[in-house]
């Protein structure tokens, strides 16, 4: 049975409305209208609230239409975590609020562990998960091929007063880095990965999730300690079932004593609707 986990604990973020391929969201005190292909129904939206609207171009990509004056960045809170928001190309804001489902899971697992925990965060983006793991007491190695994203992750770490915490920031191709860690003999208690459908490494290495994910997980298994705390795969790849992630984890963790779950993650909206926002697979001890 597919489990749908809904991120219900936000105060600084909410979906105000959804209609005809767009969602109206509140990030703190600012309202953004962004496209979402899952929203194929029609409903009412209060366009008077919109501070910025991301509009797709007929030739590909798109751009932000700024309706009112906005700061170049602002912060929102989740529980006692602070995250920096910015308007990026291709509709992004630097945060995926539905991932709070996984943040809660990581926080609980790390805080309840009876030993020091070392986390490897791959395709680590702007570092929200890294912040959660650090603040929960773990040490973190944060890897992303984009220097701009790593710099943003550093901002998030500093915004949480964690500048003296035990974190290494790495700008590199994920597979190359993992192979080097294997040669060095480094080991981790937990691994998080959020692989894109397609991407390029720091030196233009090509990544394709259907061709490369299994190989990456096989490599990562060599980095795990004998009793790993957790292993999380997130995916936003259209058509990739959570059952696929569960199948892969079952094959690689068949000799481990923990258990595996998978499912969808979503966000609540008006009219008791839930917006599906991706899939996950988890191993936990």
- Residue 1 confidence (pLDDT): 62
CATH of domain 3-85: 2.60.40.1180
Helix (H, G, I), strand (E, B) or coil at 209: helix
- Residue 202 confidence (pLDDT): 63
In this prediction, residues 201-226 reach a mean pLDDT of 90
What is the pTM assigned to this prediction?
0.95
Whether 190 has a pLDDT exceeding 80, the answer reads: yes
User: What is the tens place of the pLDDT at every residue in 251-282?
Assistant: 999 999 999 999 999 999 988 999 999 999 99
Interacting residues of 183 by C-beta distance below 8 A, sequence separation 6+:
none
- Residue 7 confidence (pLDDT): 98
User: What is the tens place of the pLDDT at every residue in 10-36?
Assistant: 999 999 999 999 999 999 999 999 999
User: What is the tens place of the pLDDT at every residue in 59-77?
Assistant: 778 999 999 999 999 999 9
> Quick one: how far is CA 83 from the chain centroid?
13
Indicate the fold that domain 97-284 takes in CATH.
Answer: Rossmann fold (3.40.50)
- Residue 3 confidence (pLDDT): 84
Whether 191 has a pLDDT exceeding 80, the answer reads: yes
Q: Exposed, middle or buried, 42 (CB in 10 Å: 0-12/13-18/19+)?
A: exposed
Gyration radius of the chain over CA positions: 19
- Residue 199 confidence (pLDDT): 83
User: What is the tens place of the pLDDT at every residue in 228-257?
Assistant: 999 999 999 988 999 999 999 999 999 999
Q: If phi over 0 gives left and psi between -120 and 50 gives alpha, with beta otherwise, what is residue 256?
A: beta
**How do the domains of the chain map onto residue ranges?**
3-85, 97-284
Give 191's strand partners: 120, 231
Average pLDDT, the chain: 96
CA distances from 77 to 119, 161, 277 (A): 23, 14, 20
């Amino acid at each position: 049975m597919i489990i749908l986990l809904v991120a219900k604990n936000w105060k600084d973020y909410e979906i105000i409305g959804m209609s005809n391929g767009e969602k109206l969201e509140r990030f703190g005190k600012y309202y953004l209208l962004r496209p979402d292909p899952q929203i194929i129904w029609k409903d009412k939206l209060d366009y008077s609230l919109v501070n910025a609207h991301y509009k797709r171009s007929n030739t590909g990509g798109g751009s932000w239409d700024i309706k009112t004056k906005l700061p170049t960045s602002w912060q929102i809170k989740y529980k006692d975590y602070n995250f920096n928001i910015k308007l990026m190309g291709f509709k992004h804001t630097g945060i995926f609020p539905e991932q709070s489902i996984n943040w809660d899971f990581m926080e609980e697992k790390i805080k309840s562990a009876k030993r020091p925990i070392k986390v490897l965060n791959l395709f680590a983006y702007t570092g929200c998960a890294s912040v959660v793991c650090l603040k929960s007491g773990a040490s973190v190695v944060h890897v992303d091929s984009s220097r701009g994203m790593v710099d943003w992750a550093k901002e998030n770490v500093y915004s949480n007063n964690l500048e003296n915490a035990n974190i290494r920031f790495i700008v590199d191709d994920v597979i190359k880095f993992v192979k080097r860690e294997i040669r060095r003999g480094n080991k981790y208690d937990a691994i998080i990965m959020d692989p894109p459908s397609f991407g390029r490494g720091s030196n233009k290495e090509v990544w394709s999730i259907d061709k490369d994910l299994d190989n990456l997980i096989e490599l990562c298994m060599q980095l795990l300690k004998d009793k790993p705390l957790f292993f999380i795969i997130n995916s936003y790849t259209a058509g990739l079932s959570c059952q696929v992630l569960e199948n892969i984890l079952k094959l690689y963790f068949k000799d481990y004593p923990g258990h595996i779950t998978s499912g969808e993650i979503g966000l609540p909206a008006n009219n008791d609707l839930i917006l599906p926002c991706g899939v996950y697979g988890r191993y936990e001890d």
